């Protein structure tokens, strides 16, 4: 089953996508560097950090960096739909690039936990009663790979791999998603946006992954050009970005959620625009392209 070619990817765009990939990886590292506490013998021990560092950590890891994963799904979807796709070949390819690494690292993490839980000087650090491997039954091992959907969780045992899990599922249903969008474009766009905005998850995939995967196809379907973002002036986007980040940190749940979501969208636009400036600078471009080869290990 094939899809018609929809969009050409220029050399510049190809390079910029690699640059964005590096930026996303760096931002994801910041996301997972947020915690300043550890679990020890069932208790949580936190580090005491100055207030200004706590605020800075929150701004970087919980505001600026949150655009990384949505942008990842957006680009993955764009690349998927921008060329002719043989459904079977695509699944084989994704099995190699997504499924095998997913199974390997999730299994490795389970084995690591099992070993650490049976060594006297490390078991106290792996004592969460929900992750004691020797107590796992068949269902627990299944949930470790697909997520405990009955409990409202789509995260695998190695929870940081949730985005790979979602991307595999979205690739399986990509042609169905395309057909539904082609027939009910506005309905799908509004619906997926509302699910994301109001944090309504189906747990098969997250609302975030669904929306930005859908948006990736919209970019191809309506031939939206990256120049639309490139033409936005920094003197406009930066103040608006700062404003959105600031208001997203208010304690008011409604206002903070509105600006939190706005921060995601504005951040995506900012990093896409930034990629052009990096691309136009020869030294920066070569540096980021070299880093792109190392992002797998990051």
246-274, pLDDT tens digit by residue? 999 999 999 999 999 999 999 999 999 99
CA gap 258, 196 in Å, rounded? 11
Location of structure tokens 């936990």: 113
Residues 78-88, mean pLDDT to the nearest whole number: 92
Under the banding of pLDDT at 50, 70 and 90, the label for residue 286 is: very high
- Residue 97 structure tokens: 């690039």
Residues 147-161, mean pLDDT to the nearest whole number: 81
Q: For 72-81, 122-131, 148-157, 181-190, which range has the lowest pLDDT when averaged over its residues?
A: 148-157
145 pLDDT higher than 90: yes
Who wins on pLDDT, 192 or 128?
A: 192
Task: Give pTM, 2 decimals.
Answer: 0.91
What is the model's pLDDT at position 151?
63
pLDDT in tens, 224-233: 999 999 999 9
236 pLDDT higher than 80: yes
Residues 149-159, mean pLDDT to the nearest whole number: 79
What is the model's pLDDT at position 150?
62
């Amino acid at each position: 089953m094939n899809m018609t070619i929809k969009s050409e990817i220029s050399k510049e765009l190809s390079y910029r996508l690699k640059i964005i990939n590096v930026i996303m990886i760096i931002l994801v590292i910041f996301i997972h560097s947020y915690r300043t506490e550890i679990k020890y013998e069932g208790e949580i021990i936190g580090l005491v950090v100055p207030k200004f560092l706590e605020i800075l950590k929150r701004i970087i890891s919980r505001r600026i960096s949150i655009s990384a994963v949505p942008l990842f799904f957006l680009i993955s979807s764009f690349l998927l739909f921008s060329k002719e796709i043989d459904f079977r070949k695509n699944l084989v390819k994704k099995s190699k690039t997504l499924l095998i690494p997913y199974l390997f690292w999730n299994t490795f993490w389970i084995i690591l936990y099992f070993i650490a839980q049976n060594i006297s000087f490390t078991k106290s650090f792996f004592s969460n009663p929900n992750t004691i491997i020797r107590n796992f039954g068949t269902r627990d091992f299944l949930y470790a790979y697909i997520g405990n959907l009955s409990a409202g969780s789509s995260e695998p045992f190695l929870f940081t791999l949730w985005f790979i899990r979602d991307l595999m599922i979205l690739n399986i249903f990509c042609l169905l998603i395309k057909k539904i969008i082609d027939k009910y474009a506005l309905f799908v766009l509004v619906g997926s946006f509302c699910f994301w905005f109001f944090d309504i998850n189906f747990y098969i995939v997250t609302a975030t992954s669904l929306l930005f995967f859908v948006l990736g196809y919209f970019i191809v379907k309506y031939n939206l050009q990256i120049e639309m973002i490139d033409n936005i002036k920094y003197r406009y986007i930066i103040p608006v970005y700062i404003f959105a980040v600031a208001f997203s940190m208010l304690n008011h749940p409604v206002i903070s959620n509105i600006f939190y979501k706005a921060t995601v969208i504005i951040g995506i636009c900012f990093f896409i625009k930034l990629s052009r400036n990096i691309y136009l600078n020869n030294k920066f471009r070569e540096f980021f392209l070299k880093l792109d080869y190392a992002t797998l290990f990051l």
